[in-house]
Structure 1
Amino acid sequence: MIRSFITIFLLVVTFSLQGQTDRFTSNLYETYDSYKEESLNKRRIKHADLQPLIDSFDARSGFEVRTVGRSIEGRALRLISIGQGETDVYLWSQMHGNEPTATQAIFDILNFLASPDQGSEKQAILKSVRLHFLPMLNPDGAEVFARHNTLGIDINRDALRLQSPEGRTLKRVRDSLDAEFGFNLHDQSTYYNAERTPKPATISYLAPAYNYEKEINLVRENAMRVIAFMNGIIQNYAPGQVGKYNDDFEPRAFGDNIQKWGTSAILIESGGYADDVEKQEIRKLNYVSILSAIYTIATGSYANTSLEGYESIPENDRKLFDLKIEGVTYPLLGEDYIMDIGIQRPEVDDADHQDFWYSSRIVDLGDLSTYYGYQTLDGSGYRLEAARVYPEVLADLKAIEKLDFWALLREGIGYVRVKNLPLNLSNSPYPVHLISESYKPAEFRLRNGTNPTFFLNSGGKAQYAVINGFLYHIPKQEGKGKNSMIFR
C-alpha cells in the first residue's frame, strides 16, 4: 500500500512538473515579441551596436558586467552575469564573426531576464543558476562579417595553442567559473538538411566528444540529456527541422576540449529556414531553445530525459539548394538531354559590410534526385533557352527604370546594355542583368560555377525565367529577386 502511494505520488509530481514546463516553454514562443531586441534586426551587427545594450544591463539591479578581455584590434570582450544559484552556466556566441544569430537571441534572453514578467519560472531559474553571457567573442571578424579573426585564424581551432586573445579569454573565463554547463553558439550553412529529408536543419545540436573513442561520461551525458530536452521543445515549432552534427573528435576545437575540461558542452548551430534571409525566425527558436535548456538545468528535470531522444535526432546532411529545377530538357549540339539543375546564391558583402547582394552559381547538374531545394520546380515539358540581349543600348539608369520588365521576360530578354554604368554600382536592382556596351554574353552552356540565367520555354513561349538564380513565373508575373548582376 505504502509503495503504491509513493509510486502514485511520484507520478503526480512528474506530470505536474512536465505540465509546468510545457506551459513555460510554450509561453516563451507566444510572448517572444515582448522581449525581442528590435535594434538588432539584421545579421550584420557590429561590436558598437552591442555596447549601449550591455551598458543598459550594467545599470540594472541584479546584473554584473565585466570586461574580461580584448580582441586583437582592442575591442572589449564583456561578460554579463545574472542569477544567485550555485550552478554556473556559461554561454558564448559569435566565435565566428559571420555567425550572429545567437548573439541577437542572447539580448532577447537578457531582456526577458530583466523584465518583471514570467515571475515564478524566472525566479526559479535565477535562484538555481548563475548565467554568464559572452556575446560576440570575435568582434573584429564581425566588423567585416568574416569567419576568422584579425590574425586570420579560426578561433574554434585555437583551443590548444591559444594564440588568439579571444581564445585565451574564452578559456580563462571557463576556468574561473568552472562552469557546469557551457553553450557554444554558432551559425551553420543554410544548405544543411535533416538527413534523408527535404527539410532544412534549422537548428542543429551536438554534445561534442572529448576523445577519439567518443566515450560518454557523466559530463557528456548531461549535455546529451539537455539537448534531447531542447529537441523535444523545438519539434513543436520546426517539426523535422532539427539535425545533429557529426561527433568526430576534433582535438583543436573548443567545444571538444571544454567537454574534456569538465563542462557539459552543448553546441547549437543556426541553419536555414524558408524565406528567413535575416534568420529572425531562427533567432526566435534560439531564444526558446536556450531558455528552455536553462530552465531544465535550473529544475534538474533534464536528468529524467532519455538519451534516446538525443540519439534519435537525424544527422546533418548537406543536400539543399536554394533552387532546384527537375527534369528540364536541355538541347546541346543537336541532342536533347534531361537535366536537373542545382542552384545556390552565395552572398557578397557591400564595401561597408552592412548589407549584401547575391552572386548566384550553378553548383550541380545531372541526376539530383537525392537532393532537395528550398524552392523546387518540376521542369518536365519545358525546354531551356538562352537569355537574349535587349536590342537597344540605353543611355543611363534612368532609361532602365522606364522599361516594362515583365514584357522583357516574356520576350526572353535577360540582359540590357547601358552606356554609362556607374563604376560604384556593384549589382543590378532589376530583374535583368546590366551589361556594358562591349560585353558579350558567352554561348549558353550549363556548367558548374556559372551564373544561372536562362529561360524555360513551352509551346514556343517563355514560361519561366531564371535570372541570377531567382525564379520568375512569367504568365502569372510571380517571383522576386534581391538583385541581378552587372557584367562589364
Structure 2
Amino acid sequence: MIQHTDYKEEAIHGRYITMDMLQQHCFPKLKNDTTIIGNSVKGIPIPAFAMGQGKKKILMWSQMHGNESTTTKAVWDMVNFLGSSHKASKTILESCTLMIVPILNPDGAKAYTRVNHNEVDLNRDAKNLSQPESVALRSLFQQFDPDFCFNLHDQRTLFSAGKADKPATVSFLSPASNVERNITPSREAAMKLIVSMNKRLQKIIPGQVGRFDDGFNDNCVGDSFQMEKIPTILFEAGHYQNDYEREKTREFIFYALVEALNTIAADKISDYSIDDYFSIPENDKLFFDIVINNPEVINPNIKAGERVGLRYKEVLNEGRIQFVPEVAEMGTLEGFYAHQVIEGADLLDFDNNPSKRAIRSILLSINE
C-alpha cells in the first residue's frame, strides 16, 4: 500500500510556501527540466515541468490563489512518489504525461494574498485574461492540449461536509460549462474521476469529503476549461481536526491525486457512476474556529444564552502565518458547529495562557 510518509517532501511545510522555497529546496531535485511559461506582475518567472511519456495528458496548477498552499505541498509529495520505483508510479508515467505548475501566482504566494500583485483574483480572469499569470496558464493550456485539468485550491475552515458536524477536509467539483449546468461528456468524466477519489478518501476520512457549489461563472478558470470540453476537477484542501498547518490535509490531497492518476492510467473512469458524485454532500458554511459558551461570565454586556463565534484571520508575520481570532457572529448559533468550544468560565484564569488572554480581550471589547 502507498504510504504518504514515504514520499512527503519535508523541505516544505506549514502554510507559507513561496517560489523562493521551491527554487531552493524542490526544483533542484527534479530530474526533468523546467519551462518558464510566463512571468508574474512583479517579474517572477513561473516554471512548469512535465513528467511521464504517456498519451493521456494531465495539466495541474496550484497556488492560483497565493495563500492557498496545501495543494502545492501535496503536489511535491506526488512528484516524489512519481520519481520512485513504485510499480504504480511507473504505470502512471508510462500511460500519462503530466504538466505541473506548482505556483501560478508567485507574487500572491510571497505576500500571502488570494490575489496577484495587481489585486486581481486570477480565478475570475479566465475571460478577460488581463493578468500575465492568466495569460501564461491559458497559453500553456492551448500548447499542452490536455485531456484532464486539475485546478488545485484551499478552502476556509468554515466549510462543513453537508449539514453534519464534519469539516469538509477535502472538497471536489466538476465545474459546469453553462448556466443550465448540463452534464456534458467532459463534466461526466470529471464527476466519475471524483467518485474514484472519494471512495479512496472515505476509507481514511469518512464523512469529511464535500462537493463544492457548481454555480456557473465563465470567468472562473475551471468553468472556462470545462467549456473547452476538457474534464476539469476543482480540488479544495480544507480543515482537518487540529490541523491548522494543513499537514494532514496535504496527505489526503496526495492520496486523492495518486488515486486520480491511477484511475486515468488504468482507463477505469467508466467504472464509476455519476449518481455517487451527487451523493457527496454539498459544502455548507457551518463551522466557527472557536465558539464561546456563556461569554457573559466575562462580559456582562453580552446577553445570557448568546454564544460568540470566532474565526481566525490568517496574518503573515516574519515568514509564518499567525491565526488571529476575530468575532464572526453572535447569537444562539443554533445549527452551527465549532472546531473548538471554550466555556466562558475557563477564561477567568488566563494569566499563563496567551491564547485565552487574547480571547478574553476580544470578549471584553464587545458592547451590546
**TM-score range normalised by the length of the shorter chain:** over 0.9
- Amino acid of the structure 1 residue aligned with 2:11: S
Residue 247, structure 1, aligned to residue 217, structure 2: no
Partner amino acid, structure 2, of 1:369: E
Correspondence for 1:355: 320
Query: What code does the residue aligned with 1:372 have?
Result: Y
Between the aligned partners of 2:307 and 2:12, the Cα distance in structure 1 is 39
Aligned to 1:368: 333
Which of 9, 29, 33 lines up with 1:37 in the alignment? Answer: 9
Deviation at 1:327, TM superposition (A): 5.8
SS in 1 for 2:257: helix
Q: In 2 relative to 1, CA 142–384 (structure 1 residues): closer, same or farther, beyond 3 Å?
A: closer
Does the C-alpha gap of structure 1 residues 169 and 44 become closer, same or farther in structure 2, counting only changes over 3 Å?
same
User: Deviations 1:90-111 (Å, cap 9, x if unpaired)?
Assistant: 0100000000111111111111
Asked if 1:112 is matched to 2:81, the reply is yes
TM-superposed deviation, 1:348: 2.1
Q: Is the 8 A contact 1:97 1:146 kept in 2?
A: yes
Task: Describe the superposition over 1:143-192 as per-residue Cα deviations: whole angstroms up to 9, x where unpaired.
Answer: 11111101110011111111111101111111112111000000011111
Give the direction of change, closer, same or farther, for the CA distance of 1:313–1:70 in structure 2 (3 Å limit): same
TM-superposed CA distance for 1:55, in Å, is 3.2
The residue that corresponds to 1:215 in the other structure is 182
Note if contact 1:329-1:384 (Cα within 8 Å) is conserved in structure 2.
no
Q: Within 2, Cα distance between the matches of 1:293 and 1:444?
A: 49
Conserved in 2, the CA contact under 8 Å of 1:205 and 1:227? yes
Q: Deviations over 1:320-377 (max 9, x none)?
A: 01122346666857x9722222122222221x4x113333222222221200011235
Alignment RMSD, CA only? 2.5
DSSP-derived class of the 2:76 partner: helix
- Amino acid paired to 2:237: S
What is the distance in 2 between the residues matched to 1:443 and 1:129?
55
Q: Which has the larger radius of gyration?
A: 1
Distance 1:229 1:329, change over 3 A: same
> For residue 92 of structure 1, what is the amino acid of its counterpart?
W
Task: Determine if the alignment matches structure 1 residue 98 to structure 2 residue 63.
Answer: no
Is 2:15–2:321's contact at 8 Å kept on the other side of the alignment?
no
Q: Structure 1 pair 328/153, CA: closer, same or farther in 2 (3 Å)?
A: closer
Q: Would the alpha carbon gap of residues 90 and 444 (structure 1) be closer, same or farther in structure 2, given more than 3 Å must change?
A: closer
Q: In the TM superposition, what is the alpha-carbon distance from 1:64 to its structure 2 partner?
A: 4.0
| In structure 2, C-alpha distance between the alignment counterparts of 1:149 and 1:83, rounded to whole Å | 31
1:88 to 57, 71, 92: 57
Partner in structure 2 of residue 46 of structure 1: 18
Percentage identity across paired residues of the two chains: 34
Residue 85 of structure 1 aligns to a residue in which SS? coil
**CA 82–374 in structure 1, closer or farther in 2 if over 3 Å, else same:** same
Q: 1:78 to 1:325 in 2, by over 3 A?
A: same
Does residue 1:55 correspond to 2:23, yes or no? no
Give the structure 2 partner of residue 454 of structure 1. Answer: none
Count of aligned pairs between the two proteins: 365
CA distance in 2, matches of 1:443, 1:294: 48
Distance between the aligned counterparts of 1:264 and 1:167, measured in 2? 19
Deviating 4+ runs (over 3 angstroms): 325-333, 382-385, 428-433, 441-448
Measured in 1, the distance between the counterparts of 2:23 and 2:286 equals: 39
The CA deviation string for residues 217-253 of structure 1, in whole angstroms up to 9 with x for no partner, is 1111100000011111111111111111110101211
Q: Distance in 1 between matches of 2:39 and 2:123?
A: 17
Secondary structure of the structure 1 residue equivalent to 2:304: strand
**After superposition, what is the alpha-carbon deviation per residue over 1:421-468, rounded to whole angstroms, capped at 9, x for unaligned?**
xxxxxxx967546xxxxxxx89947459xxxxxxxxxxxxxxxxxxxx
Give yes or no for contact 2:83–2:89 (8 Å, CA) kept in 1.
no
Q: Of 252, 255, 265, which residue of structure 2 is paired with 1:298?
A: 265
> Cα–Cα, structure 1 residues 447 and 84, in superposed 2: closer, same or farther, change >3 Å?
farther
Question: 1:414 Cα deviation (Å)?
Answer: 5.5
In structure 2, distance between residues paired with 1:276 and 1:159? 32
Q: Find 1:261's aligned residue among 228, 239, 249.
A: 228
1:357 alignment partner AA:
Q
Give the number of the structure with larger relative contact order, counting CA–CA contacts within 8 Å between residues 6 or more apart: 2
| Distance change >3 Å, CA 84–CA 443, structure 1 → 2 | closer
Structure 1 match to 2:242 = 275
Aligned equivalents of 2:195, 2:225: Cα separation in 1: 20
Supply the AA of the counterpart residue of 1:68: I
Partner of 1:149: 116
Provide the residue aligned with 1:164 in structure 2. Answer: 131
Q: Which amino acid aligns with 1:173?
A: L
Residue number in structure 2 paired with 1:126: 93
TM-score, normalized by length of structure 2?
A: 0.92
Checking the alignment, whether the CA contact within 8 Å between 1:178 and 1:263 is kept in structure 2 is no
Say which SS state the counterpart of residue 252 (structure 1) adopts.
coil
1:68 maps to: 37
CA 1:64–1:321: 2 relative to 1, 3 Å? same
Structure 1 residue ranges without an equivalent (≥5): 1-26, 388-408, 416-427, 434-440, 449-488
In the TM superposition, 1:305-454 aligns within 5 A as 305-326=272-293, 332=300, 337-350=304-317, 352=318, 354-377=319-342, 409=349, 432=357, 444=364, 446-447=366-367
- The offset of 1:277, in angstroms, is 1.4
Contact 1:188 1:270 in 2 (8 A): yes
- Indicate conservation of the 8 Å contact 2:168/2:239, yes or no: yes
- Evaluate the alpha carbon distance shift between residue 429 and residue 214 of structure 1 in structure 2; reply closer, same or farther with a 3 A threshold: same
C-alpha distance in 2 between matches for 1:91 and 1:292: 15
Which residue identity does 1:355 align to in structure 2? R
TM-score (norm 1): 0.70
Cα separation, 2, equivalents of 1:432 and 1:196: 32
Rounded Cα–Cα distance in structure 2 between residues aligned with 1:51 and 1:85: 27
Match of 1:193 among 151, 160, 170: 160
Q: 1:198 to 1:431 in 2, by over 3 A?
A: closer
What's the counterpart of residue 48 of structure 2?
79
One-letter amino acid matched to 2:320: D
Say whether residues 1:237 and 2:204 are aligned partners: yes
**Structure 1 residues 88 and 328 mapped into 2: Cα distance closer, same or farther (>3 Å)?**
same
Give the aligned partner of residue 22 of structure 1: none
